[in-house]
Chain A
Amino acid sequence: GAVVSQHPSRVICKSGTSVKIECRSLDFQATTMFWYRQFPKQSLMLMATSNEGSKATYEQGVEKDKFLINHASLTLSTLTVTSAHPEDSSFYICSAPHRGGGSDTQYFGPGTRLTVL
């Protein structure tokens, strides 16, 4: 089946630094990918839609200058958390839709746990 990977799986950084998270579709092409954030014991919140070849679409309340998204190719989207602060510590998950069995199923990456000290 379709596989989506994320790298790194876990990152710890100091406050004020920037962190880049990669999301790759390993065996299919994805013109669109989605980025979610999940705080402990909470649900997934959609942050933005990453579009290959064009600007990302951000959900209301998500700062586009803080969370930079680049969809450089049909298999790679990156999320850069700029000037990270402790409140940005969270579980970041990406997904990509892939048609199979007659429907577009979302395939999720394993997530990246970000801890900002």
Chain B
Amino acid sequence: SQQGEEDPQALSIQEGENATMNCSYKTSINNLQWYRQNSGRGLVHLILIRSNEREKHSGRLRVTLDTSKKSSSLLITASRAADTASYFCATAFSEGGKLIFGQGTELSVKP
């Protein structure tokens, strides 16, 4: 079953612009994670934010979490063509437990 919804489903931007993706979920969580997947390939873990955290940064990535609204956002700043991929949020009910994935956002960054 899917826990989350992501929007937009697809996003096309120019290199250098910022990309924002949103994720909403339905139930209480332990943590929320963002992953990246290049076409037909495995997943790459980007960032984990715990339910008691509100914001986290990693390089050009910024993740926010609003547990009252049950939503999270991923911001990629100064995007590059190499950022073109599908991005998924995933929620976990316990640390190290199973992940329930959102529908994903397909990001295309044009050079």
Does B69 make an interface contact (CB < 8 A)?
Answer: no
| Residues of chain A with a CB closer than 8 A to B79's CB | none
Contact of B1 among A59, A97, A106 (CB under 8 A): A59
What is the total number of residues of chain A having a CB less than 8 Å from a CB of chain B?
Answer: 26
Give 1 or 0 for each of A14-42: 1 = CB within 8 Å of chain B CB. 00000000000000000010101000001
B60 within 8 A of A: no
A-side contacts of B41, CB under 8 Å? 110-111
8 Å CB contact of A103 from B48, B88, B104: B48
What is the CB-to-nearest-CB distance from A7 to chain B, in angstroms, rounded to a whole number? 13
Q: Is the CB of A43 within 8 A of B95?
A: no
Q: How far is the CB of B66 from chain A (nearest CB, A)?
A: 20
Count of A-B residue pairs with CB < 8 Å:
57
| CB atoms of B99 and A105 under 8 A apart | no
In the assembled complex, which residues on chain A have CB atoms less than 8 Å from the CB atom of B43? 44, 93, 95, 108
**Residue of A at shortest CB range from B96?**
A104
Tell me whether B102 and A108 are in contact (CB under 8 A).
no
A111 to B101, CA, bound (A): 16
Q: Size band of the B side of the interface?
A: 20 to 34
Cα A95 to Cα B33 in complex, Å, equals 14
**Do B1 and A110 touch (CB < 8 A)?**
no
The answer for the CA separation of A104 and B48 in the assembled complex, in Å, is: 10
Chain A residues positioned under 8 Å from B48 (CB to CB): 103, 105
Residues of B within 8 Å of A32, CB to CB, are 96
Q: Is the CB of B40 within 8 A of A110?
A: no
Q: How far is the CA of A25 from the CA of B46 in the complex (A)?
A: 20
CB of B103 within 8 Å of the partner chain: yes
Q: Which residues of A contact B (CB under 8 A)?
A: 32, 34, 36, 42-46, 49, 59-60, 91, 93, 95, 97, 99, 103-111, 113
**When A and B form their complex, which 3 residue pairs have the shortest distance between CB atoms, in order from nearest?**
A104-B96, A97-B96, A110-B42
Query: Could you list which residues of chain B lie within 8 angstroms of chain A, going by C-beta atoms?
Result: 1-2, 31, 33, 35, 40-43, 45, 48, 50, 88, 90, 95-104
